[in-house]
Amino acid sequence: MVQGKTAPKTPLQKSMDLLGKQLSFYSFGIIGIIMLVGWLQGKAILDMFTIGVSLAVAAIPEGLPIVVTVTLALGVMRMVKKRAVVKKLPIVETLGCCNVICSDKTGTLTKNEMTVTHIFTSDGQHAEVTGVGYNRFGEVILNGDVVHGFNNSSISRTVEAGCVCNDAVIRNSTLMGKPTEGALIALAMKMGLEGIQQDYIRKAEYPFSSEQKWMAVKCVHRTQQDKPEICFMKGAYEEVIRYCTTYNSKGQTLSLTQQQRDLYQEEQSSMGSAGLRVLALASGPELGQLCFLGLVGIIDPPRTGVKEAVNTLITSGVAIKMITGDSQETAVAIASRLGLYSKNSQSLSGEEIDTLDIQQLSQIAPKIAVFYRASPRHKLKIIKSLQNNGAVVAMTGDGVNDAVALKAADIGIAMGQTGTDVCKEAAYMILVDDDFQTII
């Protein structure tokens, strides 16, 4: 998708193209007029043609491309001093014309440093988690008591699912893998359960995608390989719950009722409204016969200085749109903290975007502050709809799923430290220190 997407022309390139067409038109006009006047005066046509061409050539500003290039190069040098790498000269001018910024949330507006702070089990237990970072320093506290190991089956089963259905590795407080998965491994470490991942042999994997919004693995216990496989799943609550038919209640497996579903939905909304990224966890013999285990709330704090930068941009007349794959509650909570969302603001989901064509979306996109549960194709559609309104759109991002939108935007801006190689390749500008304020 990224390779097939051509970069749009910058406002400067469009202006230069228009100037070239106008100069060509006027040049041919001058040549024609001079030849006509000379012919009427009885002069040689060839001489008049030579004079006309000479005047037309003289009218073309040959030094203009050099002046423009030097001016843009000076702009690039100034951007470098602000720790921004510009890959195309015209982007400097485009940045000055930008009036809409679409920004990915995770890793761009927030630090992408995930920490589990809350656990809600399927049988209604609420536990708080202390400590930050990808290490074992912290505790899981339930009703004032520390939970460790398997002394609470409901919590340990929830943590087990998050640890086994996981590809991340933490060594010496260094994460290798996705931050969300790293937060789950760190949670297991705080309970002394990080070794549980080695107790299972993975037989199959259903990788996470922004479309399905869940990941699952099929495993057998290393010491019980003759027993049936166990499936572990984690992901967005509304997707995981579809595969669940039962729930865990203090070690017992009970049928999942609508009352329980409503309770879990309410808890998920409550955690999301607090600005937490919410993951649902489940396990069972098959994908369609899973037992719901609980929810974990993960905090991802906003980047330092982003709120001030957002306020400056909005005051300057630049509209900022947050685009995220998180739930509506989480997206709105974070956007409100950053000053992107107010009482009269509107939000739109990826599912709602699917029901609209480009023209319909173009009519409402300028009014939307937050786009949630958005996939890469939704981001691309949002960019196109805003460009249809004549907006000069910048897109900021750091992940592989942002690459297509970065390529389609008038100016794609990637994060230098947390950004993926694919993301940096697709972008036209890279923020070396991931500082959103550099855009100003």
Query: How sure is the predictor about 334, in pLDDT bands with cuts at 50, 70 and 90?
Result: very high
91 part of a folded domain = no
The three-point CA angle 314-318-324 to 5° equals 85
Query: How sure is the predictor about 55, in pLDDT bands with cuts at 50, 70 and 90?
Result: confident
70 part of a folded domain = no
pLDDT at 33: 80
266 part of a folded domain = yes
On whether both 346 and 410 belong to a single domain, the answer is yes
> Which of helix, strand or coil describes residue 233?
strand
**Alpha helices (H) along 286-347:** 306-315, 328-338
pLDDT at 283: 96
Q: Last residue of some domain: 254, 280, 299?
A: 299
Mean pLDDT for the stretch of residues 279-305? 93
> How far is the CA of 248 from the CAs of 19, 54, 187, in angstroms?
70, 88, 20
Mean pLDDT for the stretch of residues 306-334? 90
Q: Which residue has the higher pLDDT, 3 or 218?
A: 218
Could you tell me the sign of the dihedral formed by the alpha carbons of 42, 48, 52, 58, in that order?
A: negative
Share of the chain above pLDDT 90, in %: 48
Query: How sure is the predictor about 8, in pLDDT bands with cuts at 50, 70 and 90?
Result: low
Q: Last residue of some domain: 259, 282, 299?
A: 299
Query: How sure is the predictor about 298, in pLDDT bands with cuts at 50, 70 and 90?
Result: very high
On whether both 138 and 189 belong to a single domain, the answer is yes
Residue 300 a catalytic site member:
no
Calculate the average pLDDT of the chain: 87
Could you give phi then psi for residue 39, rounded to 5 degrees?
-65, -40
Q: Which residue has the higher pLDDT, 342 or 15?
A: 342
Share of the chain above pLDDT 70, in %: 94
Q: Which residue has the higher pLDDT, 76 or 414?
A: 414
pLDDT at 440: 63
338 part of a folded domain = yes
86 part of a folded domain = no
Domain count, the chain: 3
On whether both 324 and 246 belong to a single domain, the answer is no
Query: How sure is the predictor about 10, in pLDDT bands with cuts at 50, 70 and 90?
Result: low
On whether both 51 and 177 belong to a single domain, the answer is no
On whether both 105 and 48 belong to a single domain, the answer is no
On whether both 359 and 222 belong to a single domain, the answer is no
318 part of a folded domain = yes
7, pLDDT greater than 70: no
Could you give phi then psi for residue 294, rounded to 5 degrees?
160, -175
75, pLDDT greater than 70: no
Looking at 104, 123, 402, 410, which residue is catalytic? 104
On whether both 355 and 246 belong to a single domain, the answer is no
88 part of a folded domain = no
On whether both 197 and 233 belong to a single domain, the answer is yes
Q: Write the CB contacts of 397 (distance below 8 Å, at least 6 apart in sequence).
A: 103, 104, 107, 108, 403, 405, 406, 412, 413, 414, 415, 419, 423, 427
On whether both 119 and 106 belong to a single domain, the answer is no
Q: Which residue has the higher pLDDT, 151 or 1?
A: 151
On whether both 165 and 293 belong to a single domain, the answer is yes
pTM of the model: 0.78
179, pLDDT greater than 70: yes
Query: In this structure, are strands 169-171 and 145-147 parallel, antiparallel, or unpaired?
Result: unpaired
131, pLDDT greater than 80: yes
Mean pLDDT for the stretch of residues 345-369? 93
Q: Which domain holds residue 24?
A: 11-62
Q: Which amino acid appears at position 184 of this protein? A: L
367, pLDDT greater than 90: yes
pLDDT at 120: 97
On whether both 279 and 350 belong to a single domain, the answer is no
Beta-strand ranges (E) seen in 165-303 are 169-171, 174-176, 200-206, 214-221, 230-235, 244-249, 252-255, 277-284, 290-299
5 part of a folded domain = no
**Residue tagged 């098959």 (tokens):** 286
CA torsion, ordered 316, 317, 323, 328, to nearest 10 deg: 100
Q: Which residue has the higher pLDDT, 360 or 14?
A: 360
> How far is the CA of 420 from the CAs of 15, 97, 304, 385, 426, in angstroms?
33, 27, 21, 26, 10
Q: What is the CATH number of the domain that holds 350?
A: 3.40.50.1000
On whether both 315 and 415 belong to a single domain, the answer is yes
**Residue tagged 């809600």 (tokens):** 120
Query: How sure is the predictor about 160, in pLDDT bands with cuts at 50, 70 and 90?
Result: very high
Cα–Cα distance, 319 to 294 (Å, whole number): 38
pLDDT in tens, 240-264: 999 999 999 988 999 999 999 999 9
pLDDT at 304: 82
